[in-house]
Structure 1
């Protein structure tokens, strides 16, 4: 049996695009060539991989089984190529970093600056992702490292706790809500607030909504946004309040935190990676810089436990 990598990639493209026409366009080859190569793969394997009988092309049961192994094999080959080209002295290299929106506001900038100062030959691709998508990208080997939150990780994700991040209710300077009560706000007081919050796809919003549900309050969500910087700008220009991580609030002199009793939830920031994945020299260097930065700044320490969610597949 002789199977070519090109044929495997062609088969995966047909599955991804649910047909030969769009797959051929994406691959920039002719449709007859694509069809011929996939049929050759099926002959070499001695099994039909694709069901061509319907309006869309779908993998057969055998095709689905083969697809899972093919994806893992190509992912591992790509990691092997990066390992070959990885320079251990860090004179060059590449880091693919995923972060949840919280950390783009106060953590990513200083970390990238430190990496550039120490290892200017390393190039960096930073992507802001929701937590679930970030973990999926790590497992697919589309990211090397992620900075997100500990808790509920997918199987196969390694978790290194970094620090505890507190959330606070925040308004702009001079907002009426900042003078609405002499002491701490109670949870019941929140019913009279109009809020600007992150959208429901974000982990931070999930924590906030859980707090509201636990204390049976229903503030009016007047604005939803997909970035913290947008929320900050809105709050500074309106009478709306929001919920922000304390390090973000402390970095903006025109934001006013409002004490709430019981306090809003905290969560543990964590460095995430694929448990069984290849760790490049660039990723190792960046992970070390993350630890140094956390130790040098007054972040609240997390529970001292590093754990791995084992992949059961």
Structure 2
């Protein structure tokens, strides 16, 4: 059913006149008459009784008028909701964030809330691999993870940060006092790393494999503060990204940065790649989230580049 014809019909019944309806709609009287005839043909029955310059609805016309007002109101609300969504005056967004990354997003969330208070934002925590799976399955629209992702993951990637990996060990570590270490310096070191469901651990294993090193894993934990605690007890050296180490109590421990050529902790956003030739789509809220991340995390990276090292 043509919504425009329905609108013309409702206006005609409201004004009880083709002439007045045409004036209210800013069209000609013949246009109103034509559209109502089309509506009657589609309905298969007469909707208006024409009596000189007036028009009154038939019994079927009264039903059409009552329901027509409801349809037009729904269409008006739909248009308003579409405009509000486009303008980010409504909507919702769920973002997947691994625990090792979430500390980066405090200023992002703050800024997003300031700019788009009407958008309901939910942060869903899970390991990097879990977030990748949720995004790949379409359960989450956008998420963050440690890069790189698998080439066959079907995910689009936008990097937003690159940070050094730090080695934290007991004070009597063989490399104590050094500021930077090659990965080969850890060949015989007992290592303390996150559990295998962390994308960070996947990145570490890739780095060791590329260097031809079989890592000696002493312990794994999902809690990075516990890894530092194990290191302080002399059970090995913990490998953690710089943003985490900056928040740990490392006084009295040996700390050194892995050489950039050895490994970096690279993080990025992911979303589903376009299927076949179909164009990819991100909601207005998701695009706004990425824009805020680019702005806020970009500023953080620039500030970090001039900040003193640990």
TM over 0.5: yes
Query: Aligned to 1:280, which of 275, 278, 283?
Result: 283
TM-score (norm 1): 0.57
Pairing 1:194–2:197 present: no
CA distance in 2, matches of 1:179, 1:208: 19
How many residues align structurally? 217
Residue 134 of structure 1 corresponds to which residue in structure 2? 131
CA distance in 1, matches of 2:229, 2:83: 43
Residue 243 of structure 1 corresponds to which residue in structure 2? 239
Deviation at 1:84, TM superposition (A): 6.0
Contact 2:231–2:238 at 8 Å: present in 1 too?
yes
Query: Aligned to 1:223, which of 219, 227, 249?
Result: 219
Deviations 1:236-291 (A, max 9, x none): 66654211112222344536531446853125422211234542222122111101
CA distance in 2, matches of 1:260, 1:192: 15
Residue 96 of structure 1 corresponds to which residue in structure 2? 94
- Three-state SS of the structure 2 residue aligned to 1:134 is helix
Contact 2:160–2:298 at 8 Å: present in 1 too?
no
RMSD: 3.5
Contact 1:177–1:193 at 8 Å: present in 2 too?
no
CA distance in 2, matches of 1:262, 1:121: 42
Deviations 1:224-245 (A, max 9, x none): 1124354345446665421111
Larger radius of gyration: 2
Deviation at 1:214, TM superposition (A): 4.0
- Unaligned 5+ segments in structure 2 are 1-80, 275-279, 305-310
CA distance in 1, matches of 2:132, 2:235: 36
Pairing 1:169–2:167 present: yes
1:194–1:265 Cα change, 3 Å: same
Query: Aligned to 1:110, which of 89, 100, 107?
Result: 107
Contact 1:175–1:239 at 8 Å: present in 2 too?
no
Contact 1:150–1:267 at 8 Å: present in 2 too?
no
CA distance in 1, matches of 2:158, 2:260: 28
Deviation at 1:164, TM superposition (A): 2.2
Residue 23 of structure 1 corresponds to which residue in structure 2? none
